[in-house]
């Protein structure tokens, strides 16, 4: 068994939305196909992957560093000891040979796209949905039949008013979602508080509403928002300050009694460990949100879960960012706390398979083999057009 081909391409996910930090008018992602020499139904079994939104395609790093190393590796060096499937840790080690420690950014994003394709391929070779493959091989057989999901929405658009925001949220509730998330930080605090109150008129209270500042606030602003939002008892206050300002996070946690969620812009085990060590995060209420499609992949994420549990936390406090099928599969198969969802944005890469139904704010993972990208028609058409044979 060997990898017979690796292909990469860049896809556009441009849109006119913006958060407190960036607009997405030029946003791209990398798409990967890892093809094996195992043939089923007349076709080579192939895994597909992509990087998550927000960090752009990584074609340069993929073509110049990561993919050549995998192509140059001896085929058996990529297999597990039994020789009946691939070994994601060996693949990661080879892909990152001669890469210095530290500096976990674009490289982690590039590696995550390949890693997603490797796990899709492994589950397909085992003829299992990824969530079941993870459950059996990495979670002692445990899995969740239903997973908490929430739409990452409430972006700023030019001309979008409170009524439009309410309509958007009503749409999510109509689709079966219960908890929702909106952006804050790209308007004045008064305007943002009005946005929050407008959405609470739809959700009923703050317990099903998370707000996301996308790392925009300095300490004084984060504390001011925290004080103003405290009465709402929100689901969580996400990424209040710079993702690497652990001291700011700790200071906010000392003053804001509500839940804090952060981590989507931490791209390694080492960075996540620093958040846990220095960020003042509280194991009884706060949430960790690393994105497996940005931080070297699910392979690194397994080490992150071990690290989090090793510090006395429950893995239920982990809610992967990204709103993609990988997040849903790993949340179910590894029994994490929940998964973001993108029913409306970052299409076709955001969101779950076409037949996944949301009810009471929960999703059931499907029985599609692998990650299930073939069961999301627009996504699979895009993937086939970009990295199909």
71 binds a second copy (CB under 8 A): no
Q: Give the residue with the Cβ less far from a second copy, 112 or 211.
A: 112
Nearer to a second copy, 103 or 161 (CB): 103
Binding of a second copy by 310 (CB under 8 A): no
> Quick one: DSSP state of residue 78?
G
178, 181, 321, 368: which is the annotated catalytic residue? 321
Q: Under a CB-based contact definition with an 8 Å cutoff, are residues 376 and 192 in contact?
A: no
User: Pick from 92, 107, 183, 368: which binds a second copy (CB under 8 A)?
Assistant: 107
Q: Stretches 58-66, 165-173, 297-305, 312-320: which one binds a second copy (CB under 8 A)?
A: 58-66
DSSP-derived secondary structure letter, 125: H
Q: Count CB atoms within 10 A of the CB of residue 247.
A: 13
Which secondary-structure segment (H or E) carries 252? Answer: helix 246-255
Q: Which of 154, 172, 178 is nearest to 164 (CA)?
A: 154
The nearer residue to a second copy, 106 or 136, going by C-beta atoms, is 106
Tokens read off for 143: 């899995």
Say if CB 57 and CB 11 are below 8 A apart. Answer: yes
Report the alpha-carbon distance of residue 334 to residue 277 in Å, rounded: 23
Give the interface segment with a second copy, choosing from 155-163, 267-275, 331-339, 365-373 (CB under 8 A).
267-275
Token pair, residue 270, equals 């080492």
In the complex with a second copy, the residue whose CB is nearer, 57 or 332, is 57
57 is a contact residue toward a second copy (CB under 8 A): yes
Binding of residue 120 to a second copy (CB under 8 A): no
Stretch of 270-278, 312-320, 353-361, 367-375 contacting a second copy, by CB under 8 A = 270-278
* Cβ neighbours around 278 below 10 Å, total: 13
Residue 68 or 204: the one with the smaller Cβ distance to a second copy is 68
Q: Residue 52 has what DSSP assignment?
A: P
Binding of a second copy by 108 (CB under 8 A): yes
Q: Which of 32, 46, 65, 238 binds a second copy (CB under 8 A)?
A: 65
Buried b or exposed e, range 165-203, using 16+ CB within 10 angstroms: bbebbeebbeeebbbbbbbbbbeeeeebbebbebbbebb
- Pick the catalytic residue from 104, 124, 181, 183: 183
Residue from 1, 2, 56, 160 that binds a second copy (CB under 8 A)? Answer: 56
- Based on the shown chain and the rule CB under 8 A, indicate whether residue 271 belongs to the binding site for a second copy: yes
178 is catalytic: no
Is 376 assigned a catalytic role? no
Number of alpha carbons in the 13 Å side-chain half-sphere of residue 12: 5
173 near a second copy (CB under 8 A): no
Residue 119 or 246: the one with the smaller Cβ distance to a second copy is: 246
Contact between 303 and a second copy by CB under 8 A: the answer reads no
- In whole angstroms, the minimum distance from the beta carbon of 268 to a second copy comes to 7
User: Reading across the β-sheet that carries 28-40, which strands appear in turn?
Assistant: 3-12, 28-40, 43-50
Q: Which of 210, 268, 267 is nearest to 239 (CA)?
A: 210
Cα Rg for the chain, rounded, in angstroms? 20
Minimum CB distance to a second copy smaller for 55 or for 324: 55
Strand order in the sheet with 339-341: 339-341, 147-151, 362-363, 358-359
Binding status of residue 289 toward a second copy by CB under 8 A: no
54 binding a second copy? (CB under 8 A): yes
Q: Using the structure block, give the residue that is written with the tokens 């081909």.
A: 5
Residues 193-252 binding a second copy (CB under 8 A) are 214-215, 242-247
Query: Is residue 32 exposed (0-12), middle (13-18) or buried (19+ Cβ within 10 Å)?
Result: buried
Number of residues that bind a second copy (CB under 8 A): 49
- The residues that are catalytic are 183, 321
**What is the contact surface with a second copy in residues (CB under 8 A)?**
21-26, 28, 54-61, 63-65, 98-109, 214-215, 242-247, 265-268, 270-271, 273-274, 277-278, 294
């Amino acid at each position: 068994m060997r990898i017979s081909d690796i292909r990469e391409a860049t896809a556009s996910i441009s849109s006119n939305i913006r958060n407190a930090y960036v607009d997405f008018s030029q946003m791209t992602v990398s798409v990967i196909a890892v093809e094996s020499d195992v043939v089923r139904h007349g076709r080579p079994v192939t895994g597909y992957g992509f990087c998550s939104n927000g960090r752009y395609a990584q074609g340069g790093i993929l073509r110049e560093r990561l993919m050549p190393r995998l192509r140059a590796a001896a085929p058996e060096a990529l297999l597990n000891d039994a020789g009946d499937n691939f070994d994601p840790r060996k693949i990661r080690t080879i892909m990152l040979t001669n890469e210095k420690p530290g500096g976990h950014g674009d490289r982690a994003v590039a590696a995550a796209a390949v890693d997603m394709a490797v796990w899709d391929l492994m589950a397909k070779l085992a003829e299992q949905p990824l969530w079941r493959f993870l459950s059996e091989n990495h979670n002692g057989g445990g899995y969740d039949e239903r997973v908490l999901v929430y739409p990452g929405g409430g972006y700023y658009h030019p001309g979008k008013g409170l009524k439009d925001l309410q309509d958007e949220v009503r749409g999510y509730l109509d689709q079966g979602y219960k908890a929702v998330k909106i952006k804050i930080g790209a308007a004045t605090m008064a305007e943002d508080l009005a946005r929050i109150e407008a959405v609470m008129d739809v959700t009923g209270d703050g317990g099903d509403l998370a707000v996301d500042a996308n790392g925009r606030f300095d300490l004084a602003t984060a504390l001011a928002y925290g004080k103003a939002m405290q009465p709402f008892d929100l689901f969580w206050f996400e990424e209040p300050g710079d993702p690497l300002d652990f001291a700011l996070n700790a200071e906010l946690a000392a003053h804001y009694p509500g839940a804090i969620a952060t981590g989507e812009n931490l791209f390694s085990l080492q960075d996540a460990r620093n958040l846990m060590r220095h960020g003042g995060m509280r194991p009884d209420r706060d949430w960790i949100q690393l994105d497996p499609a940005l931080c070297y992949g699910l392979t690194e994420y397994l080490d992150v879960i071990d690290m989090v549990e090793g510090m006395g936390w429950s893995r239920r406090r982990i809610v992967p960012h990204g709103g993609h099928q990988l997040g849903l599969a790993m949340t179910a198969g590894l029994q994490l706390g929940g998964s973001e969802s993108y029913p409306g944005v970052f299409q076709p890469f955001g969101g779950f398979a076409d037949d996944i139904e949301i009810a009471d704010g929960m999703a059931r993972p499907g029985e599609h083999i692998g990650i299930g990208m073939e069961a999301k028609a627009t996504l699979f058409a895009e993937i086939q057009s970009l990295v199909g044979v």
